[in-house]
């Protein structure tokens, strides 16, 4: 049975109605209804908040079972000083203002904002949103977020500690389709990780498998490796995961079918945002999250690239046939 909040806006649970007001505030005053830096950083904040979790309950001798609890906002004076969280102050504090304005918890606002921001990106997912997280948390320990310079072994070990298998790690990496780098090379702040940063598409998975030809920055920063396109930033850990035998086939599988990629991302994000939470105590307010626009275009080779530029790493599945975009190679602008 649906509850009518206002004309044209219905929810299954009446306590979700207040989130429409928050939605309007957020779209108007934070995102400006665009798939811009605020949307990208809101998605990053979701991951950085939630991954402060260990199935053992401890990390390096410190409590680490909060998960998706808003600790990165409640304890911003601590967590935003971690190197992995450089730049997140630009989104955490504006989100905090919205949470205080509407009297909702920091954990809820972080995970609501991430879901809403993605709906402004072409072809984006429709993420679940559950409300009712308490506004209490402990600071997450430092060094729980995989670093750009980590090996595949280090990444898989840390993510397994949080409950994620290699295939799920790849599925989470779809977030990089609308991402930009911040802390690796400050001289190239906001450099995109693929050629279509306004669309939540499979281009990231294609372009990470292209041969690197030139650095975006000076080429000496830790975690930066040569990129296939001018202006596109390439992260070392992305290249390693794309070519590791434990993840290469799942990586390649994300290329051909956008709908499959989206479905996998939605499932793994539901798992991520539930870390550390008793979901039976939360209310499903997914009704409030807008339906994203569809994306009809499939992944393709960038202009000037051919299949000879691809470095396929999955031996058991043929690499998908890709259309080559017309026109000259262009330099990408920061997002």
State yes or no: 194 annotated in a binding site. Answer: yes
Q: How far is CA 109 from CA 133, 174, 212, 329, in A?
A: 10, 22, 38, 40
69 is in an annotated binding site: yes
Q: Known binder of ligand: residue 201?
A: yes
User: Is 153 marked as a binding-site residue?
Assistant: no
User: Does 196 carry a binding-site annotation?
Assistant: yes
- Consult the annotation and say whether 185 binds a ligand: no
3 state SS of 165: coil
The span from the CA of 111 to the CA of 282, in Å, is 13
Q: Is 167 annotated as a binding residue?
A: no
- H or E element in which residue 96 lies: helix 89-102
* Residues comprising the chain, all counted: 335
Asked if residue 73 lies in contact with residue 99, where contact means CB atoms within 8 angstroms, the answer is yes
Residues 6+ apart with CB under 8 A from 275: 50, 51, 53, 67, 68, 162, 163
Active site (annotated) includes residue 258: no
Q: Which of 3, 13, 40, 48 is catalytic?
A: 48
d(CA 127, CA 106): 18
238 in a known ligand binding site: no
List the end-to-end C-alpha distance of the chain, in Å, as a whole number: 42
Tell me if 36 is assigned to a ligand binding site.
Answer: no
Q: Beta-strand (E) ranges in the chain?
A: 3-6, 9-11, 53-59, 62-65, 130-131, 180-181, 191-192, 283-284, 300-301, 323-324
Question: Which positions make up the binding site?
Answer: 49, 67, 69, 71, 176-177, 194, 196, 201
Question: Which positions make up the binding site for heme b?
Answer: 176
Query: Which residues are known to be catalytic?
Result: 48
Question: Which positions make up the binding site for Ca(2+)?
Answer: 49, 67, 69, 71, 177, 194, 196, 201
């Amino acid at each position: 049975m649906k509850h009518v909040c206002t004309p044209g806006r219905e929810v299954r649970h009446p306590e979700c109605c207040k989130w429409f007001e928050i939605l309007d505030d957020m779209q108007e005053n934070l995102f400006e209804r665009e798939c811009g830096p605020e949307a990208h950083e809101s998605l990053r904040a979701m991951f950085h908040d939630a991954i402060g979790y260990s199935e053992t309950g401890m990390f390096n001798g410190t409590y680490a079972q909060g998960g998706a609890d808003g600790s990165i906002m409640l304890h911003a004076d601590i967590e935003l000083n971690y190197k992995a969280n450089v730049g997140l102050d630009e989104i955490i504090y504006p989100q905090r203002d919205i949470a205080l304005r509407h009297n909702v918890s920091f954990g809820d606002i972080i995970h609501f904002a991430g879901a809403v921001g993605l709906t402004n990106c072409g072809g984006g997912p429709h993420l679940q949103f559950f409300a009712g997280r308490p506004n209490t948390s402990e600071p997450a320990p430092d060094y729980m977020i995989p670093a750009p310079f980590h090996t595949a072994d280090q990444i898989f070990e840390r993510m397994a500690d949080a409950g994620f298998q290699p295939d799920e790690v790849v599925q989470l990496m779809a977030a990089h389709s609308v991402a930009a780098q911040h802390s690796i090379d400050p001289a190239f702040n906001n450099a995109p990780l693929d050629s279509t940063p306004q669309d939540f598409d499979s281009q990231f998975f294609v372009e990470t498998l292209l041969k690197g030809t030139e650095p975006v920055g000076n080429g000496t920063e830790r975690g930066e490796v040569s990129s296939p396109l001018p202006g596109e930033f390439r992260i070392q850990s992305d290249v390693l995961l794309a070519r590791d035998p434990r993840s290469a086939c799942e990586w390649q599988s994300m290329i051909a079918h956008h709908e499959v990629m989206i479905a996998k991302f939605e499932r793994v994000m539901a798992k991520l945002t539930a870390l550390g939470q008793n979901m039976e105590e939360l209310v499903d307010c997914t009704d409030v999250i807008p339906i994203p626009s569809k994306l009809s275009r499939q992944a393709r080779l960038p202009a000037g690239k051919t299949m000879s530029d691809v470095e396929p790493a999955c031996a058991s599945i043929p690499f998908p046939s890709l259309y080559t975009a017309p026109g000259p190679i262009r330099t990408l602008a920061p997002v």
